[in-house]
């Protein structure tokens, strides 16, 4: 009887260890997914459209460069929009 109890206790600890290892592995994978989503949170293109004072539509589309961070991408798009707004004001 004592042998069965000892085997049962050993099996419980073995299963707990396996469960802990599985959860740690899953947490690592989830952290990787979250990191990738945060790096790619901004779309690969931005588009701004407006109507100038003559009633003409203007659209600026900026595509994200490979490896470009979100701040630089947004700043570059804003520069392009500002440049065309200077030529074709609202």
**Are residues 31 and 2 both part of a single domain?**
yes
For the chain, what is the radius of gyration of the CA atoms?
28
Q: Which residue has the higher pLDDT, 66 or 36?
A: 66
Lowest mean pLDDT among 14-18, 34-38, 44-48, 50-54: 34-38
**Are residues 4 and 17 both part of a single domain?**
yes
pLDDT of residue 26: 75
Q: How many CA atoms are closer than 13 Å to the CA of 21, on its beta-carbon side?
A: 6
pLDDT at 76 over 90: yes
pLDDT of residue 78: 93
**Are residues 35 and 11 both part of a single domain?**
yes
Residue 14 near residue 46, CB atoms below 8 Å: no
**Are residues 26 and 62 both part of a single domain?**
no
SS (H, E, C) the chain: CHHHHHHHHHHHHHHHHHHHHHHHHHHHHHHHHHHHHHHCCCCCEEEEEEECCCCCEEEEEEECCCCCCHHHHHHHHHHHHHHHHHHCCC
**Are residues 37 and 2 both part of a single domain?**
yes
**Are residues 59 and 34 both part of a single domain?**
no
**Owning domain of residue 81:** 45-87
**Are residues 1 and 36 both part of a single domain?**
yes
**Are residues 36 and 1 both part of a single domain?**
yes
Domain count, the chain: 2
Threshold 0.85, pTM exceeds:
no
**Are residues 37 and 60 both part of a single domain?**
no
pLDDT of residue 60: 93
């Amino acid at each position: 009887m004592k042998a069965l109890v000892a085997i049962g206790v050993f099996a419980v600890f073995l299963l707990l260890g396996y469960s802990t290892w599985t959860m740690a592995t899953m947490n690592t994978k989830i952290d990787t997914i979250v990191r990738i989503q945060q790096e790619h949170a901004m779309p690969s293109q931005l588009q701004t459209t407006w109507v100038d004072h003559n009633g003409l539509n203007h659209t600026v589309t900026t595509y994200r460069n490979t490896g470009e961070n979100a701040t630089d991408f947004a700043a570059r798009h804003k520069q392009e929009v500002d440049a065309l707004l200077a030529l074709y004001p609202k």
